[in-house]
Amino acid sequence: MFPEIERTLVTRGQIAARVAEMARDIARDLKADLIRDGHSALDEDRVVLIPVMTGAMIFAADLIREMPVKLAIGLVTVSSYPGQSVSSKGAQLASALPDNLAGKHVLVIDDILDSGQTLALVREVVGAQKPASLRIAVLLDKKTARVREVPVDYVGFEIPDEFVVGYGLDYDGYYRNHPEIAVLSKSVLDAAEQRG
Ligand code: 5GP
Ligand code: MG
């Protein structure tokens, strides 16, 4: 789709199949929680999904359409600082968190678990509201890049420590609409490194 893309790590078909499996596992676990609480999967006001913007947009959109559970969505935006394109040194909330999570079954959804700082932060602030349960789903896991350990419940694919784009993931704001998980050409990334 874009000439700057050099290599595909995860194809459309692989993503679709895995997202459907993840949705099935997540729905099964949420339904078990709800039954334990004396509710049904179609009862209102029990389940809140929190996609971390903007990277989790496409993953979350595909995931929820495979989940036959009554759920609300509360977006959160987290920004990494100091704002480099290809590495993250920390995370801060860039939007208010939904404030009605007490007693709810909450699923945080993100595109990728890298250093762990983003999801460690989200887990902490969501957990402070005392939800009934708190789980995390990520499409991608760069296991070897971890700085902070974060317990995640659902992982789509483990990938090597390479900078990836597509299926919601950006480079400087672009390539989110590339339908696969892919690696940009070295010349694009080298040029970014030189700019700092
Ligand atoms: P963290 O390092 O805090 O675990 O991940 C921070 C955020 O950096 C992720 O939510 C994601 O938005 C972004 N990120 C981490 N690794 C990559 C990558 O390989 N490609 C892209 N496009 N974003 C990444
Ligand atoms: Mg992100």
pLDDT at 89: 64
Closest CA relative to residue 55, chosen from 141, 152, 154, 176: 176
Give the model's confidence band at 196: pLDDT under 50 very low, under 70 low, under 90 confident, else very high: low
What are the domain boundaries of the chain? 12-161
Distance CA 154, CA 174 (A): 26
pLDDT at 88: 58
**DSSP-derived secondary structure letter, 75:** -
pLDDT in tens, 7-66: 999 999 999 999 999 999 999 999 999 999 999 999 999 999 999 999 999 999 999 999
Query: Any catalytic annotation for residue 114?
Result: yes
Kindly identify the ligand whose nearest atom is closest to the C-alpha of 176. 1
Pocket of ligand 1 (CB under 6 A): 55, 80, 88, 91, 110-118, 163-165, 169-171
Give the model's confidence band at 121: pLDDT under 50 very low, under 70 low, under 90 confident, else very high: very high
pLDDT at 194: 81
pTM metric for this prediction: 0.94
CATH number of 12-161: 3.40.50.2020
Burial of 19 (0-12, 13-18, 19+ CB in 10 A): buried
Beta strand pairing call for 76-80 and 91-93: antiparallel
